[in-house]
A and B are shown apart, each in its own frame.
Chain A
Amino acid sequence: MKFMDVLNSATLGEPKRLRPMIIWTMIEYLLRGAPYGFTIMIIWLIFEPLQNPNTPFNLNATIFSCIGLFITLVLLVFANVKSFFASYKDGYEICSDGRLNIVSHLRKLPMGFYNSKDPGDIGAYIVNDYANIETLVTHLLPQFAGAITMPLVALISLMFFNWKLALIATLVIPLAWPLSKLSYFIIRKAGIKHQKTKIEASSRMIEYIQGIKIIKAFNLSDVRFERLEHAFRKLKSDSIKLEAGSGPTMILASSVLNSGLILITLFGMSFLFAGELSLPFYIMFLVIGGRVYEPLIHALMFLAELNYMQLGVERVEKLRKIELLKDGEQELDSDFTIDFRDVDFSYNSVKVLKNISLSIPTNSFTAFVGPSGSGKTTLTRVIARFWDVDSGEIFIGKKDIKSLKIDNLLSKISIVFQDVYLFNDTIYNNIRVGKEDATEQEILEAAKIANCHDFISLLANGYQTVVGESGNTLSGGEKQRISIARAILKNAPIILLDEATASLDPENELYIQQAIDNLVKEKTVIVVAHRLNTIKRADKIVVIDKGEIVEEGKHNDLIKNNSLYKKLWDEQQKVKEWRF
């Protein structure tokens, strides 16, 4: 990724926004270099009586220099304030816009993206990467611009006084360049390795902490500890290596740069004796030569860091480039018949759905059953366009779902997931997710229908209780009911329901069942079922095995059919009788 590309993506394609901070910082650093100019002038003034013993010390010129110095200081304050605000205020605004942009982009990504990665990881990366981008924009970039300004201006102006010597002084920069490149390379390589070791150590830590009960139960603290210790030891040595690795090349690079000073001293002296350079100019070269290389070394270091930050920018950019689902034009009316026509779908090049054709009438109750991994859950998800199918079509109300506005499609579907996810927010807001503009009355009503009003009212803060905060842990059954209240509030005509497999205490189980019964009334319902018992009354049971529909019909028909469904049914009836 080129430097400009990095800037482009850090600013969402508006690198112009970085211009004020770069320009003002350059002006600031230029003014900050001004005192050296005045130092040279003063040294000249002092040397004049020495060179020509009869001339008096030029006091007026000194006074003018001081006034000049004062003026540049005032200008410096002004430029400094400007650059400070340009760097930080603009920088934070750029990053805030970037964060908002990526967040809204993430919502539009196909769900498939989230299934392939741990959402927690994606979140952690974004948080980290944006912290890096923020440092890049507010610190690194302006400082890099500042650090190269003074040396560049100084070296260019020296050209006018003696181009040969100035060229010699500049020569060291291209010499140091490959060395600094080499050190980025080393940092990057060691950095990647270090990152891996860090993740490994982190995995071992989680394993050790979470497994401590088992570790103690099997008296294994020595064996498991050894592994953890080994991971820590490796982390230590890799951290030291990372720190050590780039040092020597960096020292070499800075020494090469600084050797410019000795070149100035030596060549300057021979030019002085050859009469090509006058004494005042030689002094000027010496004084400036002592100052130009230090900031250049800083610039090299910034560049190395910039290189590191680039990884984060690249990741964000990659995320931004992920293609969104194509949005359609049409909207649904009151027909919610769902038709699958020859649907094929592969995931990670494994065929998950094969040649599925199926019709689900409006307001009917359909159940998908089958062994785990058969594709029954995926079959419900493609209706909500979590992924687009590879071939074939899915219609709702005779309209291809790809031709529908995505927002319109999703507004007609509620999904009750097996894994309940509640936001770290109040119960009230967690229910309100179902309908943004719901009134308090509507929310309470939904809670009542979902059988959760009673337990919520018993909480000290009622609906304003924040979920997940210490002491406010809700039981699994309670969380599930809140998630149902959410769906009830949304009141979508199509309901996709994952039946929970986790067993709860009988009371909770019953409450949830009632809530679900209330949810599915007069809706087009598709249930992914595990307990065949619960779906006996379905209008249609679809039996799926290895991505294909193997049977379809009402409970009694399927029992008569004496095939896979019958087998599953008999097995489950047997389980019911199990005792320890």
Chain B
Amino acid sequence: MKKNSLLRLIQIAGTKKWWLIFSMILAILSTIAQFVPFVSIYKILVELAKNASEPNLINREYIWFWGYVALAGVLLFGILLYASMMLSHIAAFNILYELRVLISKKLVKLPLGFFSNKSSGQIKKVMSEDVERVELFIAHHIPDITSAILFPILLIIYMFYTDWHLAIVVLSVFFIAIIFQSFMMLTEKNKKLYKKYQHVLGKMNGSIVEYIKGVAIVKIFSKSREAFQKLNSDIKEYKDLSIDVTKQYAPIYVGYYTILSSILLFLIPVSIYLLINSNSYSEYIPKLLFFLILGGGIFFPLMKLMWMSSFMMQNSVGIGLIDDILNMEEIIEPSNSKKIKNSSIIFKDVEFSYEKTPILKKISFEAFTGTITALVGPSGSGKSTIAMLIARFWDIQSGDILIGDRSIKSISSKELMDNISFVFQENTLFFDTIEENIRMGNKDVSFDDVISAAKTAQCHEFIEKLPNGYKTLVGEGGTYLSGGEQQRVSLARAILKNSPILLLDEATAYADPENEGKIVHAISHLIKGKTVIIVAHRLSTITTADQILVINNGQIVEKGKHEDLVTMNGGVYRHMWELYSQSREWVIGGR
């Protein structure tokens, strides 16, 4: 376990300090209570020993008393342990809750560009799994480790007080056990082995999930599972590694348990020797019984520690990932934001790289209020990035982006978002009614406005057919809508929002021909009188744009109206247009 991550965990745990301190105290008390029945038996044995020759003199009440104490101890052990666990768990679950809230709040402040499809999965993993793992440390390790360390110390002190010779015997066995234990968790080799184990396990599980996801391909294309060498070898690799780990741990594990069981082998000879050579046989007996009955008790908490050490290392990775998110740079909000005067968009020598890969080079253009600007170019050329930069998904490295003659960095994100609507390829519907998915929190509009937006977006018809109409729950866990339907709902959303700037990124990309007409129709309604930036593949849809920017390799290579660009000899747009016309006329088997 990395030292700094352990410290970090303790720091996180520190926010619920008192809960955890009480939990630790109760954990120690419960370990002591666990010991009470043995103390009782010891006390009873001493009483019996005292009167062994004359059983009639045995103090019955005394024995009754210790019998009850034993039971009370057991009961108390259960209650104290439960209380300790509850305290630590309540603290832990509260901490998990707070960490999750903290991450959620942080996410809103991050550049939107951060949320690509891929990173969404990773963020979710951090929020659910990695945060979950903190529970193990706070709820289990903290109380367990304290009792595992403190209890033996208390017991050893008492043993020395009773008889130091025998205490030394117990202590030395204890130390040998501790040394063995440290073999289990501390060596570099074991850490590496553990990491490798985690890696191989992850690989196998990943392969299984992937195999099932691709099962249609598997069925169609492969005759036997042997084709999936990768999966088979991953399963076998995991098995082999597990067995290797087993072999590696066998001597330590067996040694450790043997030592724990061997304590009597050392205690008996020494204690008998001391007994025979003691001044008074009968007076030494209670001490001897104490060690015989209770000596092994020192190992109770150690057993727990043994199982725990194997879990200890798991935390270090997760906590780092949580901190990675929490420490990420936020979008800086301007201290005093001004209103946007108009909705023109100006790019001035914009340069942008993403993770050191240059995406845009010296992009300059102007989109006047109320005009349509189309961005075209091959995939990966950077055209979508331009659209996203307008909504400040990322901050640019140099140059400036102006909206209404103000740098977007000087506009608050609320003001910016109030002025921009976007419809992208991916459409997120929230688990809520369709009405709310269109309304999106806007309480100022009437239900009729929602319906008219839906009508314009060509989705009123299918919404009416749903079991509960506009009150139908959609999104994650609700009624499933097809890609085209989702797209039209998000269009209705944008129509209702009615903001002066509109960004459209391949908004018709996933529509089948049936819906495409409807969507194009809806969009033409939406864009009236707006400043529109549109990224399109179907070139026929943008021939009427006020200006077309042809992007290639992060640069604007051509700029103009369709009629001008299409007649330019050797031009990139002209070539694209030819390819497009050709592909539109494609007939399978026709060439």
Residue-by-residue, is A100-131 near B (CB-CB < 8 Å gives 1, otherwise 0)?
Answer: 10011011000100100001101110110000
Report if B189 contacts A (CB, 8 A).
Answer: no
A9 contacts the other chain (Cβ, under 8 Å)?
no
- Is there an interface contact between B238 and A96, defined as CB atoms closer than 8 Å? yes
Known: A259-B74, A269-B63, A533-B587. A123 touches B208 (CB 8 A): yes
Known: A243-B89, A531-B513, A533-B584. A411 touches B223 (CB 8 A): yes
Task: Given A384-B220, A530-B512, A576-B540, answer yes or no on A84-B250 (Cβ-Cβ < 8 Å).
Answer: yes
Main secondary structure of the interface of B (DSSP, over half): helix
Q: Give every chain A residue within 8 A of B74 (Cβ-Cβ).
A: 254-255, 258-259, 261
- Contact B212 A517, beta carbon cutoff 8 Å: no
Stretch at the interface among A155-163, A394-402, A418-426: A418-426
Contact of A122 among B93, B212, B517 (CB under 8 A): B212
Question: A580 is contacted by which of B372, B440, B511, B582 (Cβ under 8 Å)?
Answer: B372
Cβ < 8 Å to A, chain B residues 267-309: 268-269, 272, 275-276, 281-282, 285, 288-289, 292-293
Q: How far is the CA of A258 from the CA of B422 in the complex (A)?
A: 68
Q: Is B3 an interface residue (CB 8 A)?
A: no
Q: Can you list 19 A-B contacts with CB-CB less than 8 angstroms, sorted by A residue number?
A: A49-B281, A69-B264, A77-B258, A84-B253, A99-B208, A127-B209, A216-B108, A236-B94, A243-B139, A261-B37, A262-B71, A265-B44, A287-B293, A290-B41, A365-B588, A410-B219, A423-B210, A486-B217, A578-B516
Whether the Cβ atoms of B215 and A106 lie closer than 8 Å is yes
Q: Given A127, A212, A272, A533, which contacts B108 in the complex, CB threshold below 8 Å?
A: A212
* A-contact bits for B237-248, CB 8 A (1 contact / 0 none): 011001100100
Interface of A is mostly: helix
- Would B104 and A208 count as touching, CB distance under 8 A? yes
Starting from the known contacts A107-B222, A505-B377, 7 additional A-B residue pairs (CB-CB under 8 Å) come to A53-B53, A88-B242, A106-B211, A120-B209, A251-B82, A504-B537, A510-B586
Residues of B within 8 A of A262 (CB): 67-68, 70-71
B67 touches A265 (CB 8 A): yes
A52 to B54, CA, bound (A): 10
A-B pairs, 7 with minimum CB distance = A123-B209, A251-B78, A50-B52, A265-B67, A96-B239, A258-B74, A506-B580
Residue in A209, A223, A239, A365 whose beta carbon sits within 8 Å of that of B589 in the complex = A365
Which of B232, B268, B476, B482 interacts with A203 by CB under 8 Å? Answer: B476
Interface string of B204-228 (1 = CB under 8 A from A): 1110111111111111111101111
Contact digits for A1-39, partner B, Cβ 8 Å, 1 yes 0 no = 000000000000000000000000000000010010011
Instruction: Judge if A282 is at the interface, Cβ distance under 8 Å.
Output: yes
Q: Which of B112, B228, B258 contacts A73 (CB 8 A)?
A: B258
CB neighbours (8 Å) of B281 from chain A are 49, 57
For B93-122 the 0/1 string (1 means CB < 8 A from A) is: 110110011001101100010010000100
For the complex formed, measure the closest distance between the CB of B510 and the CB atoms of chain A, giving whole angstroms. 5
CB distance from A114 to the nearest CB of B (A): 6
Closest-CB distance, B239 to chain A (whole angstroms): 4
Q: Is B66 an interface residue (CB 8 A)?
A: yes
Q: Does A575 contact B (CB under 8 A)?
A: yes
* B196 at interface by CB-CB < 8 Å: no
Take A81-B254, A210-B120, A413-B220 as given contacts and tell me if A42 and B213 are in contact as well, using a CB distance cutoff of 8 Å: no
Q: Is the CB of B67 within 8 A of A106?
A: no
> Which residues of the other chain, B, contact A517 by a CB distance below 8 angstroms?
588-591
Which one of A73, A507, A578 lies within 8 Å of B520 (CB-CB)?
A578
Stretch at the interface among B10-18, B359-367, B411-419: B411-419
From the candidates B38, B45, B517, B587, name the one contacting A535 in the complex (CB within 8 A). B587
Residues of A within 8 A of B506 (CB): 503
Given contacts A207-B431, A371-B514, A506-B579, contact A433 B520 (CB under 8 A): no
Contacts known (A218-B417, A286-B44, A536-B587); A490 close to B221, Cβ less than 8 A: yes
Contact between A255 and B64, CB atoms less than 8 A apart:
no
Q: Which of A42, A95, A96, A214 contacts B292 (CB 8 A)?
A: A42
Which residues of A from 339 to 375 have beta carbons under 8 Å from B?
365, 367, 371-372
Out of A85, A103, A120, A255, which one reaches B75, CB within 8 Å?
A255
B589 touches A537 (CB 8 A): yes
Q: Say yes or no: B212 contacts A421, CB within 8 Å.
A: no
Q: How far is the CA of A228 from the CA of B105 in the complex (A)?
A: 11
Report Cα–Cα, A535/B590, bound state, in Å.
Answer: 9
* Given A70-B265, A219-B414, A262-B67; A50-B93 close (CB under 8 Å): no
Which A-chain residue is minimally distant from B507 (CB atoms)? A580
Looking at A58-66, A180-188, A443-451, the stretch in contact with chain B turns out to be A58-66
How many Å lie between the Cα of A252 and that of B254 in the bound state?
34
Q: Does A225 contact B (CB under 8 A)?
A: yes
Asked whether B276 lies within 8 Å of A59 as measured between CB atoms, the reply is yes
- B366 CB to closest chain A CB (Å) equals 20
Q: Which of A86-100 contact B (CB under 8 A)?
A: 88-89, 92-93, 95-96, 99-100
Which residues of A lie under 8 Å from residue B285 when comparing CB positions?
Answer: 46, 50
Chain A residues closer than 8 Å to B60, beta-carbon distance:
269, 273
Q: Are B379 and A537 in contact (CB under 8 A)?
A: no
Measured between beta carbons, the chain B residues less than 8 angstroms from A236 are 93-94, 96-97
Q: Which of A517-547 contact B (CB under 8 A)?
A: 517, 520-521, 525, 527, 530-538
Q: Considering only CB atoms, which chain A residue lies closest to B376 in the complex?
A: A505
* A53 nearest CB neighbor, chain B only: B53
Known: A107-B225, A123-B213. A575 touches B513 (CB 8 A): yes
The reply on B123 being an interface residue by CB < 8 A is yes
Interface assignment of A579: CB less than 8 Å from any CB of chain B: yes
**Contacting residues, chain B, for A219 (C-beta < 8 A):** 414, 417-418, 441
In the bound assembly, the distance between CA atoms of A474 and B490 in angstroms comes to 27
Would A206 and B120 count as touching, CB distance under 8 A?
yes
A279 at the A/B interface (Cβ < 8 Å)? yes
Cα separation A250 to B513 with both chains bound (whole Å): 63
- For residue A210, give the distance in angstroms from its CB to the closest CB of chain B: 5
Query: In chain B, what residue has the closest Cβ to A513?
Result: B586
Say yes or no: B211 contacts A103, CB within 8 Å. Answer: yes
- Structural contact, A93 and B239, CB atoms closer than 8 A: yes
Asked whether A132 is an interface residue with its Cβ less than 8 Å from the other chain, the reply is no
Known contacts A123-B213, A261-B70, A266-B64; A254/B208 CB under 8 A? no
Give the distance in Å from the alpha carbon of A92 to the alpha carbon of B520 in the complex: 58
- B108: chain A residues at CB < 8 Å are 212, 215-216, 221, 225
A417→B545 CA distance, assembly (Å): 35
- Per the 8 Å Cβ criterion, residues 413-437 of B in contact with A are 413-414, 417-418, 420-422, 424, 426, 428, 430-431
Q: Which residue of A lies closest to B477 (CB)?
A: A203
A508 at the interface (CB under 8 A from B): yes
Chain B neighbourhood of A59, CB < 8 A: 272, 276
Q: Which of B79, B250, B265, B579 contacts A66 (CB 8 A)?
A: B265
8 Å CB contact of B221 from A127, A290, A372, A433: A433
Q: How far is the CB of A530 from chain B (nearest CB, A)?
A: 5
The residue in B41, B293, B510, B534 that gathers the most chain A C-beta atoms within 10 A of its C-beta is B41
With A62-B268, A69-B264, A123-B208: A572-B513 Cβ-Cβ less than 8 Å: yes
A151 to B523, CA, bound (A): 77
CA separation between A219 and B416, bound complex, in Å? 10
